[in-house]
Structure 1
C-alpha cells in the first residue's frame, strides 16, 4: 500500500500440479458448451486473451477452456466436466488474488465474473452476493441502506477469495472478519452437487469455508450479516517522517489498547509518491503513515482519531470525512491492473524498537518506490472468536506484517522478488509463526508455512477436504491435502 490516492512468465504455486493438456474430442467440448447458459471460451476465440488476463501481471497461463458461467447450474456442469475429463481446474472470482490461482495451464477455468447479483434485505440486515462480485459491487448495494459487511480495502478485490481465506479490512476490530459475518453460502462440491452451508446445514463445510480457502468447492453465493456503517465516515490518512516511525507506530499501539474495539489502523512504511496531493519537496521521501477508518459519525470520528494525527509534525495530513464507498477506494490507485505483485506476510507478537527499525530499513531498501511494508493492528472483534470456531487461524496475533513488492516492468521482477524474500526471512525471526493466506505471495517455503497458515485447524480441515473433495480436484489454492 503506497498511499497514493489520485504479462510476464508466471511462477508455479504450491499445491499446483500440471494437468494434462486438454486433448478432449471436440464433440465433447461442443456438447459441454451447448449445456451452458453462459459462454465457453477457447484459444483463438476473440475473447480468449482478455479472459486469461489477471490483475497480477506476473501470471501468464493458457487454459484450454474458460467457462464464463451464468448461474449455479453452469458452475455444476463445469465442475463435472473438469472432473470427468481429468482437467486441471481453476476458479476465478474477482481475479485479484496475488498468487494467481484463478488461472491454470491446459485446463478449465470456471469464470464467475458475470455472476455479480446482490440482494439486500435491509430489515433483516443481510445481503446475498454471487461469487463474481467485487467489494465495490457489494458495497454499492449495501450502502444504499446505510449498511456494510466487513470486507477488504481495495474495491476491485473479489469477495470470494477474500472471504474464503478470512477477509481483513477497516472493520476487522469493530465487526470481525469477512468470514465471521458469513451467514450461509451455496457451494458446488467436487461431485457436482450444489449444497447449502450454514450453522444448520452441512455445518462441517460451513466451518471449513470460513478460513480454509477454495479447497472445498466453488462458492456461488455468499450471505453476509450487515451492520450500520456510513454513508459518511471519517478517515484518518496522515503521513509522518520515517525517522519518527517508532514513535508513530508505538503511539498507535497505545491508542488502540486504550480505546474500545472501534477502529483497525494500518501503519504503512514507504516512499511519498509523485502525486499532487503531497508537498512537492516530499516526493520520494520515506514515510510512516497511519490509515484508519472510523465507522461512526464523521464528527465523532474526527475527535476520536485526533490523537493519531497529532503524534508529531506530519509531512501531510489527508484526513477528512468522505463516504464509506469512497473510503473503500482510497487505495485502489496503488494497485493498477497488469502491474506485478509479489507479497508475503507474517504475524508478530509485539512492535519492539528493533522490529520497527528493521521494518523501516526494509521499506527503504525496496527496489520499487511503489512497494511498502504494512503493519495491521489486529485484535478486537476478530480476536473474540475462538481459534477453532472457524477455520481461520492465528486470531490472537496482535500484528500482521505485510511485505508488498509492487512494480511495473518485467525486467525488475527478480530484484523485487528477492527483496520480499529477504525481508520475509528477517521478519520471521520476530514471529512465533503464522501468516494471512490472502497475502501469501507464492508458498515456495512448502508445507511448514501452509500448516502455520491454517494453524491447529489443519488436521480438521484435511478431514473435511477428504469428505467433500477426496481426489483434490480443487487444488489450485493454498492446498490442503485430503486426509487419507
Structure 2
C-alpha cells in the first residue's frame, strides 16, 4: 500500500473514531438529560437523581472493594417503593441496565460487566414491629447494624450478619449466615413475606402462598436473580437473659494448626445452639515477624464467661495469649472487628476478593498445608500481606431443621464456612495474581476435604465459581432455578450478581 493510501486509511480511521466517540458521548448526554427530564418528574419528592458531575455522586457510588467494580452512569436514590418500579420501567424502556445497592459489599467479578443506573436503596430504612411482637417489617435499604439496633430497642433480635455495615437483605437473599442460626436457621429461613419489584417493573407481594408462591422458594438463596426487595417481613424473637454474651480469644503459633483444628472439629459436634467460633489465619509482625498466626474466638450466649468444658481443650494446646470478656449481643460486631467504626467497614482504595468453600469438617493435615501455602505465597513483604483466611463455625441445629429442598439455599450440610480473603492495591496485575493465589489456597482445602464438589457461599463468591458451586449440584435444583428465571426475568435484567442463565 502506498504512502497516500496509508494516509487516507489513517484519516478515515481517525474520523470514524471521532465520529463514534462523539455519537457515544451524545448518547450518554442524551440519556442523562432524559433521566433528569423524563424520569425525574415521575419520582416522589423524597427521591433524587445524582449524575457524575453532581456533588454526592462519588459518595453514592463508593464500593467496599475496587475489584472489578460496576460502572454507574447515574444514581437514582429512591424514596418509595413506587420509585423503584418507575425507575425499572424507565430503564427497561431505554434499554439501560440497573442495579440495586444498599451496602456496596458485593465483590463478585461479574459486577464489572455492569454499566448503568444505580438504584440506591438507603432511604428505605424503616422498621415496623408487629403488634404481637413475632415479626418485623424492614425496608429494603436497611443495614445489618441498623436492624440489630432497631430490634434491640424493642427487646427483640433476629438472624442477621454480624458485620454492621453490610446491607441486611443482600446477604439474606443468598441465605444469610448469622450468629443466631443455631437457634433459628439462616436469615432467609426467617422470611414471612416480602414486597418486591420484578424485572417488568411490577410490584408484587410474595410469600409461601398466593399468586407468586413459586418465586418464594427462589428468593431464599438465589434472590439476587429475581427482583429488588422493597421490604421484608421476618420472624423476630425476644432477647434472652438481657442479651448476655461472653467470649474467649486465643492466639496460636504456626505449629499448633493441626491440633487447633482437630479441637474445632470436636467443638462442632458439641457446641450448643447459642454458640459459635470465628477463626482467622493472618500475619501480625508484632506477634510473629516471620510466620502467620491463627486466632480463635469462642462466643457463647447467656453466660458471663464461656463454659470451661469448651475453653479447656483450647487452653491445653498452649496458646500464645488468651483474652476474654462479656457484654451483650450488640457487642459481637465490635469483638469480631466488623462494627461500623472498624477497619473492616472502612471504604479504602483496595481490591478485596473472597474465595469461599463450605466443609463438613476440617482435615487437620490439609489445614496445616493451607497454613504452609499461605506462608509461602503471602510473605511478610508481599503486596497481599494483609490478606486472611476466615473460618466461621456457626451452630447448625436451626439450619438443618429446615428440609434441604424447602428453599433455594443449597449447602445446609456444610458445618464450616471458610473464606480466603485476598486484599491488595487495585491494580489489574495484582488482581489477577490475587485470583490465582485465592483459587490455589481454596483448592488446598477442597483436595483435603475428600470431595470433588466445591460448595461456595454465593454472598462471598469471587466469580470464578460454576453455577453448581454456587447453587448446588442437584439437577432438579438447577432446573427449577432456570425455569423460574425464564418465567420472571426472561431478559436477564437481574444478571449482574451470580447470574442464573436464562
- TM-score, with normalisation over the residues of structure 1? 0.86
The answer as to 2:115 corresponding to 1:97 is no
1:373 to 389, 392, 403: 389
Distance 1:341 1:351, change over 3 A: same
Does the 8 Å contact 1:248/1:311 carry over to 2? no
2:220 to 187, 210, 226: 210
Distance 1:213 1:237, change over 3 A: farther
Does the 8 Å contact 1:383/1:396 carry over to 2? yes
Alignment-derived partner of residue 424 in structure 1: 442
Q: Shift in Å at residue 226 of structure 1?
A: 1.6
Alignment-derived partner of residue 455 in structure 2: 434
Does the 8 Å contact 2:69/2:111 carry over to 1? no
Alignment-derived partner of residue 26 in structure 1: 33
Secondary structure at 2:233's aligned position in 1? strand
Query: For the residues of structure 2 that align with 1:83 and 1:290, how far apart are their CA atoms?
Result: 49
Distance 1:253 1:97, change over 3 A: same
Distance 1:27 1:168, change over 3 A: closer
Distance 1:28 1:370, change over 3 A: closer
Query: For the residues of structure 2 that align with 1:130 and 1:284, how far apart are their CA atoms?
Result: 48
Does the 8 Å contact 1:132/1:158 carry over to 2? yes
Alignment-derived partner of residue 479 in structure 1: 499
Higher relative contact order (CA 8 A, sep 6+): 1
Distance 1:308 1:236, change over 3 A: farther
Moved more, 173-182 or 427-436: 427-436
Q: Shift in Å at residue 175 of structure 1?
A: 2.2
Query: For the residues of structure 2 that align with 1:80 and 1:453, how far apart are their CA atoms?
Result: 35
| Count of aligned residue pairs for this structure pair | 455
- Computing the radius of gyration over CA atoms, which structure comes out larger, 1 or 2? 2
Alignment-derived partner of residue 245 in structure 1: 257
Alignment-derived partner of residue 186 in structure 2: 177
Does the 8 Å contact 1:52/1:103 carry over to 2? no
Residue deviations 1:113-171 (CA, integer Å, cap 9, x gap): 22211223474232211111111110011112332111112111111211000111222
Secondary structure at 1:141's aligned position in 2? helix
Equivalent residue runs for 1:135-174 within 5 Å: 135-174=144-183
Alignment-derived partner of residue 470 in structure 1: 490
Q: Shift in Å at residue 392 of structure 1?
A: 0.1
Alignment-derived partner of residue 296 in structure 2: 290
Does the 8 Å contact 1:150/1:175 carry over to 2? yes
Query: For the residues of structure 1 that align with 2:145 and 2:469, how far apart are their CA atoms?
Result: 31
Does the 8 Å contact 1:153/1:169 carry over to 2? yes
Alignment-derived partner of residue 36 in structure 1: 43
Query: For the residues of structure 2 that align with 1:231 and 1:288, how far apart are their CA atoms?
Result: 29
User: What are structure 1's unaligned runs of at least 5 residues?
Assistant: 1-19, 275-279
Q: Shift in Å at residue 425 of structure 1?
A: 3.0
Q: Shift in Å at residue 302 of structure 1?
A: 4.5
Residue deviations 1:457-481 (CA, integer Å, cap 9, x gap): 2211111222221211111111112
Distance 1:81 1:116, change over 3 A: same
Query: For the residues of structure 1 that align with 2:287 and 2:388, how far apart are their CA atoms?
Result: 20
2:370 to 351, 359, 378: 359
User: What are structure 2's unaligned runs of at least 5 residues?
Assistant: 1-25
Q: Shift in Å at residue 412 of structure 1?
A: 4.5
- TM-score, with normalisation over the residues of structure 2? 0.83
Alignment-derived partner of residue 6 in structure 1: none
Distance 1:304 1:79, change over 3 A: farther
Alignment-derived partner of residue 383 in structure 1: 400
Query: For the residues of structure 2 that align with 1:127 and 1:98, how far apart are their CA atoms?
Result: 29
Query: For the residues of structure 2 that align with 1:152 and 1:454, how far apart are their CA atoms?
Result: 27
Distance 1:461 1:386, change over 3 A: same
Distance 1:39 1:66, change over 3 A: same
Does the 8 Å contact 2:222/2:471 carry over to 1? no
CA RMSD of aligned residues (A): 2.6
The answer as to 2:481 corresponding to 1:461 is yes
Alignment-derived partner of residue 231 in structure 1: 243
2:311 to 299, 306, 316: 306
Query: For the residues of structure 1 that align with 2:36 and 2:365, how far apart are their CA atoms?
Result: 59
Moved more, 102-111 or 197-206: 102-111
Does the 8 Å contact 2:68/2:111 carry over to 1? no
Query: For the residues of structure 2 that align with 1:21 and 1:357, how far apart are their CA atoms?
Result: 56
Query: For the residues of structure 2 that align with 1:461 and 1:40, how far apart are their CA atoms?
Result: 34
Query: For the residues of structure 1 that align with 2:440 and 2:302, how far apart are their CA atoms?
Result: 40
Query: For the residues of structure 2 that align with 1:176 and 1:213, how far apart are their CA atoms?
Result: 17
Distance 1:228 1:288, change over 3 A: farther
Q: Shift in Å at residue 220 of structure 1?
A: 0.9
Q: Shift in Å at residue 408 of structure 1?
A: 4.6
The answer as to 2:402 corresponding to 1:398 is no
Does the 8 Å contact 2:101/2:120 carry over to 1? yes
